Amino acid sequence: MATVYLALDIRLDRTVALKVMHRSLAEDPAFVRRFIGEAKSVASLSHPNVVHVFDQGTDNDVVYLSMEYVPGRTLRDILRERGRLPAREALEIMIPVLAALGAAHQAGMVHRDVKPENVLMTDDGRVKVVDFGLAKAIEATNQTRTGVMIGTIGYMAPEQVITGAADVRSDVYAAGIMLFELVTGQQPYDGETPMSVAYRHVHDTVPAPSSLVPEVPPLIDTLVAGATAREPQHRPADATAMLVAAVDAHRMLPRTTTPPGTGPVMPPSRPQTFGMPSGAQSVPQAAAPAHTMVAPSHTLIQPRAEAPEPRRGFRPNWFLVTLAAVLAVAVGLTGWYFAQPEYVKVPDLVGKNLVVAEKNLAGAGLLMRKAEGQYDEKVAEGLILSTDPVADSELEKGSTVTLVPSLGPERIVVPDVSGLTGNSARAEIAKAGLTVGNVKRLPSQEIERDKVIRTSPMVGEKVKKGATVHIFVSAGLVMPDVAGMPKDQAADFLSKQGFQVQVTEVDDDAEPCTVIAQSPKAKSEVDRGAPVMVTVARCQADIWEWFRGDDDDEDREDQPFGMVPGVIGKNVNDAKAELEALGFKVRVQRLGNGGVVQYQRPVPNSRRPVGSTVFLWQ
């Protein structure tokens, strides 16, 4: 269904597994909708034995998942290498698998494709289950047809084969097949075609693992038989129920699997020999008891040494000898005492200036070595951050103390990414050790569309490492809203903005000669020089006929009229106050960032009923 790449998330600086769906699936809208929904469900499933889903998205026709990268091997790789596993070890793998499936079942999810290929074994011994929900997502595609089964045939429950339906007990069945394979090294059924294997899942009873491998304990046979019952109602209710049974089985299995009588055998003791004194008789070996150590049969004879006669005539003066010895020891101790090195304590230098620290060390009879500086948010630049050895350590006088100066708080200069595309700017900001924040699009007549206008904080500012930098990208020209403007004013304004204006008049109930529609629509992103179609209500000769209308409202005939003054070029607030003082209502619409009236409707010096609305564009 997908190709998996090892990728680097440059925003969070972490290695991820990027799963890119095959193009045939990505082109199917039903699959994309179901896939996104399943990805959200899996992302909400936080469990240590489930491979986490970090993100999901589409890029044109590419549909992808960003997932936790798990270094290690699949359970299938381990089975290929070892053939089969001891019962306890098999359960120690199945227990975390069942815990992951149980958490999914509690959340209303079904895996639908439990198999060794979807179980990852990390280098540090952790077990992770992957690919939740993908089988369900592919069921919604145009790839599937009536009679097509989704899953892996060797692990399919009978109900999946017959009806295509799967629930939590289907996952339990697949887990039972996987346990069978772990302890026997093979699947229970094989056949020349997938359909022949599927037929046996439906009509046969899974054999006991011990029928293939006699060493398999009966507890495993019972666990496999319950999980692989042909009728779903005869299996454990879900993976959590099977987990409880697996934990009980693991607890009751012996911790060692060495058969009785096959333990280590101690080598026989070597016979000891005993020397016998001269003149002793040897003991015949035949007369010795079987369990005693027998002395050698020969006698060892050692020649006797003659003692020399002592000399006569010289007797030492023991007093002088003793005195000389005492003097020798005293001289030796005195020399040893004065030869001992002098020890001093390392002064407390943290927070001191480097020059002051060096003087303090010299005063204590110690030497200084300056190490490479380190950044620190609390200790100012140039002050001592740490020493090696630490303060109050005793050193031999003349020893060297290493000082680590502080470089002060680490600050990173915001890089200049103006003019780059949004993705290139993200990469540059992440490369600088900063975090990309919001990306906002702003209208701009000067900067090409999709190119960066500026950042916040601004280029060149120094910020903390990892600080958030927001990017503002040009949206190019944004189509202004000219609805309701007089025809000539709208055409004049759009022409000044660089558009090619075409005006069409149509019959309409709106005020004559005013814009009733425009294409492209207001606020859409457009290129400079793009053609713009403006539709206006047909310009009638008598505006009063339009205002009076076709009704018989006699009150309007008696309504007083006033002259609408020209306020173009005036401050918006001043113009509004002036018009309201004359009894008109005022509505202000924005074309740009200025505070001056650029256009108005009705046009200056027009007569309008008092209380009618005057539109101003700033």
For residue 54, what are its two tokens? 């970090």
Q: Is 171 a catalytic residue?
A: no
Give the active site residue among 113, 131, 238, 376: 113
Task: Give the residue among 52, 26, 28 at the shortest CA–CA distance from 39.
Answer: 52
Task: Give the residue among 35, 167, 60, 194 at the shortest CA–CA distance from 109.
Answer: 167
**How far apart, in whole angstroms, are the C-alpha atoms of residue 363 and residue 355?**
13
DSSP code for 571: B
Token pair 């280029």 is found at: 459
**How far apart, in whole angstroms, are the C-alpha atoms of residue 95 and residue 110?**
17
75, 116 contact by CB (below 8 A): yes
Distances (CA, A) of 513 to 201, 324, 507: 78, 134, 10
Three-class DSSP category at 422: helix
Q: What are phi and psi of 304, to 5 degrees?
A: -85, 135
230, 205 contact by CB (below 8 A): yes
Q: CB pairs under 8 A, 24+ apart, for 567-570? A: 567/597, 567/600, 567/604, 567/616, 568/597, 568/598, 568/599, 568/600, 568/604, 569/596, 569/597, 570/596, 570/597
Q: Which amino acid is at 307?
A: A
User: Which residues touch 177 (CB under 8 Å, ≥6 apart)?
Assistant: 154, 155, 187, 188, 206, 228
**How far apart, in whole angstroms, are the C-alpha atoms of residue 597 and residue 617?**
6
**How far apart, in whole angstroms, are the C-alpha atoms of residue 493 and residue 499?**
9
For residue 191, what are its two tokens? 């056949």
Q: Which residues are marked as active site?
A: 113
